Amino acid sequence: MPIDLPLQDLPPDTRGRLVVGYSGGLDSGVLLHALAQTPALRARRLRAVHVHHGLQAGADEWAAHCVETCARLEVPCSVVRVNVARDSGEGPEAAARAARHAAFAAQLEPGDVLALAHHRDDQAETVLLRALRASGPDGLAGMRPLRRFANGWLWRPLLALPRAQLVAYAQAHGLEWIEDPSNAVDDADRNFLRNRVLPLLRTRWPHADTVLSVVAALQAETGALLDVGDDDALATARTPDPAVLRLDALRALPDARRARVLRRWIAALQGPPLPARAIDWCNADLEMGRMDRVPRFDWAGHRLQRWRGLLQAGPIRAPLDAGFTATWDGSAPLQLPDGGRLWLDGTPAGRVWTVRARQGGERIRLPGRAHTHALKHVLQSLDVPPWIRAHLPALVDGDGRVLAAGDLAFDAGFDAWLRDGNRRLHWSPPGDIYTVPDARIA
């Protein structure tokens, strides 16, 4: 008689569609089948997503298997092809995981629940792997049964079950699945633990997986207790820009609390996990307190940078191309090549300007001033940080006179023209770069 599979409960406040990450392997095949056999879960517009990495010779056959299996279960299936970055510096395993998670995130509508088939054996591997990477309580807490993810939630309903129970379920229901040959290769750290280390541990400690799962649960409890203090400490360091913290507030924290606050901040920005060497860089930089340069730390396509008592984090972005120039009459928004945008509220009145990247050496005559000032010094006096200045466009008239630097500094005559016509110039930098609205001279 086919056996049932106990699933962890899904909280009632999660009401979106149920989306299964389906690789075609045993684990995700069992999860898909179990969800499809549960009427209440199937009714949540159950569907599957297969991520086609293109890394294995049989990748096309795997995708076809997933589509056929879903058709038999009458579950809609989407196949999403991704390109795995081979030069990210993260290693092939991490790069494939990042590409897979990005593909899943793109498939979720607001409130959707992504269901993944991680089980207790996977949790044991995760705890061991993170212990060997010197993780703290948050890392040793392993994978969570439910957490926020992209526009919705990530749910692991099998996390408390051993893989042996999944095998028994698959055999009892006559399921078919694909064996990924890469799982048998010990090159990846997780595969080495799965194939060599954990089997050896079980010969001495048969309940090693259970014990490591308990370790994860205890560390999760510890982390929850620390979270309250972390939130309070992070709040004291915040600025109007969510991607910028105050260094004086960070400097006042104990090292251990500072490390947790920095990691919590980066997680809230949805950046990649902050490595230990980044924490070391922050601590050393804070202790030295140098203010005569712009120190930076780069990791996984992201950057930490300090300027004038502030610490900023975000994706590494190329500045506005130095050769960029465009003619603009203000009648329609101007899309900038770095992802920024310039637009004018009000009647353009037939004027035509040049918009270009800053070239250095520009001067501007501010309202109420008799002389021109170096634009560089004006922006510094406004406390406009370098991560914003790098994207700031210049609006120039036919004589080469700078009329505006984005919407942060205006020429006196141009400012009067704006005011007389009840007009307003707006500049928005690339989407993940924040600018303080009142940091302008006009």
CA distances (Å), 123 to each of 110, 140, 160, 209, 313, in order?
28, 10, 9, 8, 30
Of 350, 346, 345, 377, give the one whose Cα is nearest residue 361: 377
Residues 31 and 61 in one domain: yes
**Boundary-marking domain end, from 257, 283, 315:** 315
pLDDT value at residue 188: 81
Structure-token pair, residue 52: 């086609």
Residues 205 and 63 in one domain: yes
Q: Residue 341 in 3-state DSSP? A: strand
C-alpha span between 317 and 314 (Å, rounded): 9
Q: Which residues contact 228 (CB under 8 A, 6 or more apart)?
A: none
C-alpha span between 337 and 357 (Å, rounded): 10
pLDDT value at residue 416: 94
Residues 270 and 294 in one domain: yes
Q: Residue 70 in 3-state DSSP? A: helix
Q: Which residues are documented as binding site for ATP?
A: 23-28
Strands (E), 218-372: 244-246, 296-299, 302-307, 310-315, 325-328, 334-335, 341-345, 353-357, 363-364
Domain of residue 310 covers 238-315
CA angle 409/414/417 to nearest 5° reads 130
Reported as type and span, the H/E element at residue 374 is: strand 373-374
- DSSP letter at 8? P
CATH number at residue 310: 1.20.59.20
C-alpha span between 24 and 30 (Å, rounded): 10
Residues 61 and 205 in one domain: yes
Of 144, 141, 138, give the one whose Cα is nearest residue 118: 144
CB atoms within 10 A of CB 127: 25
**What is the DSSP annotation of 240-259?**
SSTTEEEHHHHHTS-HHHHH
Reported as type and span, the H/E element at residue 65 is: helix 59-73
pLDDT in tens, the chain (442 residues): 456 788 888 877 788 999 999 999 999 999 999 999 999 999 999 999 999 887 677 789 999 999 999 999 999 999 999 887 765 555 667 778 888 888 999 999 999 999 999 999 999 999 999 999 878 888 899 999 999 898 899 999 999 999 999 999 999 999 999 988 777 777 788 889 999 999 999 999 999 999 999 999 999 999 899 999 999 999 999 999 999 999 999 999 999 999 999 999 998 998 888 888 999 999 887 776 555 556 899 998 899 999 989 999 999 888 999 999 999 999 999 999 999 999 999 887 788 999 999 998 999 999 988 899 999 999 999 999 999 999 999 999 999 999 999 999 999 999 999 999 999 999 998 875 665 544 444 4
**What is the DSSP annotation of 136-196?**
-HHHHT---SEEEETTEEEE-TTTTS-HHHHHHHHHHTT------GGGG---SHHHHIIII
Number of domains in the chain: 3
Contact present, 407 and 441 (Cβ < 8 Å)? no
Would you say residue 13 lies in a domain? no
Q: Which residues are documented as binding site?
A: 23-28
Residues 291 and 180 in one domain: no
Residues 62 and 191 in one domain: yes
